[in-house]
Amino acid sequence: MGSATIFFWLQLPNVTKSYRTALTITGIVTLIATYHYIRIFNSWSEAFTVASKDGGDYAVQLTGAPFNDGYRYVDWLLTVPLLLIELILVMKLPQAETVSLSWKLGLASALMVALGYPGEIQEDLAVRWFWWCLSMIPFCYVVFTLAVGLAEATSKQPSPAAASLASAARYLTVLSWCTYPFVYMVKSVGLAGPAATMYEQVGYSLADVLAKAVFGVLIWAIAAEKSAVEESGKLLPN
Amino acid sequence: MGSATIFFWLQLPNVTKSYRTALTITGIVTLIATYHYIRIFNSWSEAFTVASKDGGDYAVQLTGAPFNDGYRYVDWLLTVPLLLIELILVMKLPQAETVSLSWKLGLASALMVALGYPGEIQEDLAVRWFWWCLSMIPFCYVVFTLAVGLAEATSKQPSPAAASLASAARYLTVLSWCTYPFVYMVKSVGLAGPAATMYEQVGYSLADVLAKAVFGVLIWAIAAEKSAVEESGKLLPN
């Protein structure tokens, strides 16, 4: 995540001015994630200990300190709206549409994260499902808006390469977003204990790398391609 | 590794735009390695303790905490595909070839690292050899593709100096890459205990310095030479 940030920011001079705000935000998203993953790493190390007794097999034990999943939700509360805004910015829609889409998707996605947290920290499966369902309302709204909105924006891209990258961004968004509700369900279907906790953390981490770093590389590729098209004069900046 | 990163990034304005992405990635590879070597250092310090009893000879003892070789494999999973991509980028092949080679070599090399790990953490020699053999399939594919592909790319370099540097990069790649399977075999041939663990770590670390920092200096030299050729107008940028 940290390397992705540095990559995006070092690439700022290589894109035209129109795409620098999108690329700056892309780097901020992975920077915020870097910070929270360090917190998550430390919280994890404090919650579990690995040791071998008398030179025997290694075993994982609880230390008694809780593993704090709150870092993940604070991270999402900040990064998910920013991720959507970077995607909207790189599409370079008319200004009024950019502002209105940013507000609608930004607020809906923050609401989605906020509604997911009360369920995440619950052991009671019914309560977990209740918050999952509530959180899925803004989730569906955002994913649907993106799937439809990006299909339209894709057809307006200035070159076939840009259109194919925008289409890849669309599929990656839907794929990586849909991972989260399924990972959330790992514990809701009654799985518990160390294995469920591990799968949940691996799942969220993989989805985060896809949704932030890999998605960011796509945003950069779109920005670089559109900058090249603009600079070659095939398209006048609108 | 950290110093190499700083060197590569401070050199960014000294090469033409065409080679800045390659040099940015070269610095990211050594940055990721810097991070993981700090983690490896800490894990090593936590796993072994050196003390003298009653003023006598110093002895190394296990603390009970495991030494985590996973950091090395996570490092390779990220850096090995990036290393190949930086080499492809500095060769400045046609865009379609760059994209297709990056995907093929990137995925094959990630697969190679992922297949090596299950064997690395095994005590059972037969299982170690099994994963070593599996991992050698993508290994041979990547090394062979590089050896052939770089020979061709070398002949197309814009100046004798660039051609000789590209040829050096080719030999260094094959030499440093072939170190890893041999180091992996240290434990597979039945060597065990502290000495085998030490030789393995020394071997991997030396190979890493060659494959990342020294190799990166070659990438920088190629980028600098080709930038000089482009700027002197002997070759029009394609």
pLDDT tens-digit map of A42-56 = 999 898 888 776 667
CA nearest to B83, candidates B216, B183, B220: B216
pLDDT tens-digit map of A83-135 = 999 998 988 888 998 999 999 999 999 999 999 999 888 888 889 899 999 99
Q: Give how far B64 is from chain A: nearest CA, Å.
A: 5
* Cross-chain Cβ contact B21/A11 below 8 Å: yes
pLDDT tens-digit map of B67-116 = 888 999 999 999 999 999 999 999 888 888 889 999 999 999 999 999 99
Q: Read off the pLDDT band of B5 (50, 70, 90).
A: very high
Would you state the pLDDT for residue B216?
A: 95
* Cross-chain Cβ contact A3/B62 below 8 Å: no
In chain A, pLDDT over 90 holds for what percent of residues?
Answer: 52
**Residue B17 DSSP SS3:** helix
**Chain B residues close to A11, C-beta within 8 Å:** 21, 24
Would you state the pLDDT for residue B234?
A: 56
Which of B20, B32, B62 lies closest to A3 in CB terms?
B32
* Cross-chain Cβ contact B28/A58 below 8 Å: no
**Residue B236 DSSP SS3:** coil
H or E, element range at B105: helix B95-120
H or E, element range at B189: none
Stretch B155-175: mean pLDDT: 85
Chain A residues within 8 Å of chain B (Cβ atoms) = 2-3, 6-7, 10-11, 14, 50-53, 55, 58
* Per-residue pLDDT at B158 exceeds 90: no
**Chain A residues close to B79, C-beta within 8 Å:** none
Would you state the pLDDT for residue A165?
A: 87
Q: How far apart are CA A102 and CA B54, in angstroms?
A: 69
Report residue A60: phi and psi, to 5°. -90, 130
* Per-residue pLDDT at A68 exceeds 60: yes
Question: Which residues, other chains included, contact B192 with Cβ-Cβ below 8 Å and sequence gap of 6+?
Answer: none
**Chain B residues close to A10, C-beta within 8 Å:** 9, 12, 20, 24
Would you state the pLDDT for residue A55?
A: 64
Would you state the pLDDT for residue B107?
A: 95
C-beta pairs of A40-47 under 8 Å, 24+ apart in sequence: A40/A68, A40/A71, A40/A72, A43/A67, A43/A68, A43/A71, A44/A201
Q: How far apart are CA A112 and CA A80, in angstroms?
A: 10
Out of 3.40.50.10490, 1.20.1070.10, 1.10.3720.10, 3.40.640.10, the CATH code matching A2-231 is 1.20.1070.10
pLDDT tens-digit map of B7-51 = 999 999 999 988 999 999 999 999 999 999 999 999 999 888 888
Q: Which residue of A has its CA nearest to B28?
A: A3
ipTM of the complex as predicted: 0.81
How does B172-209 read in b/e, with b if 16+ C-beta sit within 10 Å?
A: bbeebbebbbebbebbbeeeeeeeebeebbebbeebbb
Question: Which residues, other chains included, contact A218 with Cβ-Cβ below 8 Å and sequence gap of 6+?
Answer: A165, A168, A169, A172
Q: Ramachandran region of residue A10, left (φ > 0), alpha (ψ -120 to 50) or beta?
A: alpha
